Chain A
Amino acid sequence: MTVGGALAGGGLRAAARIRAEADARGISRLPVLDGEGPLAVRRIRSAGPEARVALVGAMSAPLGGDRLTVAAEAGPGARLDVTSTAATIALPGQTKEPAHYDVRLSVEEDAELRWLPEQLISAHGSALQVTTRAEVAPGARLLLREEQVLGRTGEPPGNLTSRLTVRCAGRLLLDQELACGPAAPSGWDGPAALAGHRALGQLVVVRPELAEAPARPQLLGELAALTPLAGPGLLVTAVAPDALRLRRALDEAVRVVG
């Protein structure tokens, strides 16, 4: 395995690419499964027709200045589940430059992608910009979970910005940006935004039937809410005191949305 390349600023560049395609019997195969450096990808045994992949953190990343890209595609009619084996921890690097972590998800016609990685932890002193873009074709289905944990236990968080964009049949369904940490605009931890909670998460569901029959808004406890989006999708937003309670809330949300 070779690392994609060292960058002048001191970080590294690495990419992982996953593509699932359905074979003639409807079983999803993985014609593309490439990782490098800190981004290793592993096929996991699947009991059903779906292909399953785990992202494995093969070295400490992202550090300041790193540029990481993960692209996952489910080809027409394919089913792809992606998880990760451990939380991703953003750490300070040798450079003051922020790290960039770009996730590109593509769900082609009648395909289904379940993107359920472990938490992203923003360690003290780190700076990370996460961009997640999902393109969902007509008839395709997406389940996407993102969890951000601000600081390891008992430490103040680093700087974390995250932008999540979901396009469905070319139309913008969700565009959401979060900024946390000492460099974020003031008020990020106040009563309008996080109010001292150290874990936050989103669950996005895109399904064609939600266009005709939108989900009903629903509270899931005091700190999580399910809301229909303006199109064939729904969003669960949750905050929690810690990662464990956040996961409980989002697991409950996954049960509710079925």
Chain B
Amino acid sequence: MSRATLLVLADGRFPAGGHAHSGGAEAAVAAGRIKDAADLAEFCRGRLHTSGLVAAALAAAAALGVDPLLLDEAADARTPSAALRTAARKLGRQMMRAARATWPSAELDALAAVRPKGAHQPVVLGLAARSAGLGPEDAAYVAAYEAVSGPASAVVRLLSLDPFDATGVLARLAPELDRVAADAGAAARRVPDEGVDALPASSAPLLDIGAEAHAAWAVRLFAS
């Protein structure tokens, strides 16, 4: 793998639309569940080990070459919130545009053709990593990191949290990010033998409930 290519894909400035989403942080701030950096850290931890792990495993499996349509169906079943499915497909569509422009491949074209409204973002992310010559663990790292970097930067804006504190939260999560990326990669490698049921399905109840509440708001800063 090329470490520089990984940096390009993982860069927050990669034009895939992620900055418009708070990963559930906006709803959690409004409900009073995130009030400071310590709450943010716990929120990120919870998200990392649930939807972050699922996203990382889906991305790793796509990077490994597992049929993206099977993974898209697995992602639907693991995303019970309709609001989060909509957000994931919107982000997938934006990721697809950016990826096809950056690392064109026949596999990306094929998925874009059958999922014109967007496949789930982690699946597209994994396929983008594959097109860029990256491996499953690389894709898992990007997905896992996005699961926490999105809420961290959103909370800086939502609570006027000190950006140094938010970055400190992410830095202290590094060992757990390593573990989640490794677990996600290991799960993805079981898929060729055991099918997509080998992928984790971890969920966080308040992320799902909060996403539906957030989607019903008339005015919001972030799309999800």
Contact = CB atoms under 8 A, between A and B. Distances in A.
Interface stretch (A15-23, A115-123, A135-143, A179-187): A179-187
Secondary structure at the A interface, as helix, strand, loop or mixed, is: strand
On chain B, which size bracket covers the interface? Answer: 35 or more
A75 B183 CA distance: 40
Given A171-B73, A227-B83, A191 B209 contact: no
Contacts of B208: 225, 227, 237
A226 B212 CA distance: 8
A219 B207 contact: no
B216 A193 contact: no
Given A175-B77, A194-B206, A227-B83, A219 B50 contact: no
Interface of B: 24, 28, 31, 33-34, 39, 42-50, 73-74, 76-83, 85, 176, 196-197, 200-209, 211-213, 215-216
B100 to A, nearest CB: 25
B49 A187 contact: yes
13 contacts: A165-B197, A175-B197, A185-B45, A187-B47, A191-B33, A191-B39, A192-B42, A217-B216, A218-B212, A223-B209, A229-B80, A238-B205, A239-B206
Contact of B201 (A175, A219, A235): A175
A176 to B, nearest CB: 5
Contact of B46 (A177, A191, A230, A231): A191
B31 A193 contact: no
B77 A173 contact: yes
A163 B201 contact: yes
